[in-house]
Amino acid sequence: MSFKIVFGLTNQKKIKELNDIVKLLKALKLDPRFLLDYNIPEPSELHSNFLNNASYQAKYCAEHTKLPCMIEVIGLSIDALYGFPGVKSKEFIEECGGISNSINKLELMLNGYGNYSAHFDCALALYIPSHDLLIKNEARDMGSLSFPSRGETDFGFDSIFVPKGYDKIFAEFSIELKSIISHRVNAIQKLMATLQEFLNSLQTHA
């Protein structure tokens, strides 16, 4: 079986991080595309957890593109702020007027706290409309926050997040290192394993 898969990504730098996954998809004779190539309204985040939001958006994009769609939903949760911004991370950035302003606001909100522990969550969902099949997975990176921000802010809160076991923030990591340890890549690799099983089953019954 051969079909196109649309990644729900519009950030060119994030797309670059997925080069290894794109190569794997091509090896499976799948045709990876990106949502920025399709003129469809951006889906809303209606649910209170990452995985439900990713599942809803994957089905939404598949309905509009008529193709299998993979969506990621990522958020930063801060222990001292009872998990805020969490699933509201994207909304928080927009309300603050951009990532730089949101980072500055978080630093102010954490003023006086001795606990900067935080974690990234990544939920991924792939919906294949031709088989009404939803494949989903989650991954988490534990760590802490470091202010002020360092490196580029094109990757959101990566410029203040120090993953557990490291002394650098994500924004200072090479793409090669991030492809080994990041929450996003770990979630994708697990999902890809399930997709491979699905493709194998199709070949068996062909």
**Which residue would you say has higher pLDDT here, 32 or 138?**
138
Mean pLDDT, the chain, whole residue set: 85
pLDDT range class, residue 47, cuts 50, 70, 90: confident
Cα–Cα distances in angstroms (integers) from residue 81 to residues 2, 76, 115, 145, 153, in the given order:
46, 11, 10, 12, 22
Percent of all residues in the chain with a pLDDT value above 90, rounded to a whole number? 44
CATH numbers and ranges of domains, the chain: 4-204 (3.90.950.10)
In terms of Cα–Cα distance, which of 185, 182, 169, 88 is closest to 141? 182
pLDDT range class, residue 10, cuts 50, 70, 90: low
pLDDT for 52 equals 93
Cα–Cα distances in angstroms (integers) from residue 115 to residues 103, 123, 145, in the given order:
16, 25, 9
Q: If you average pLDDT over residues 140-158, what whole number do you get?
A: 85
Instruction: Check: CB of residue 161 under 8 Å from CB of residue 169.
Output: yes
Judged against a pLDDT cut of 80, whether residue 21 lies above it is answered with no
Q: How far apart are CA 67 and CA 129, in angstroms?
A: 7
pLDDT digits (tens, 9 = 90+) for 89-125: 989 999 999 999 999 999 999 998 989 999 999 898 9
In terms of Cα–Cα distance, which of 179, 174, 197, 191 is closest to 72? 191
- In three-state secondary structure terms, 55 is helix
Whole-prediction pTM: 0.83
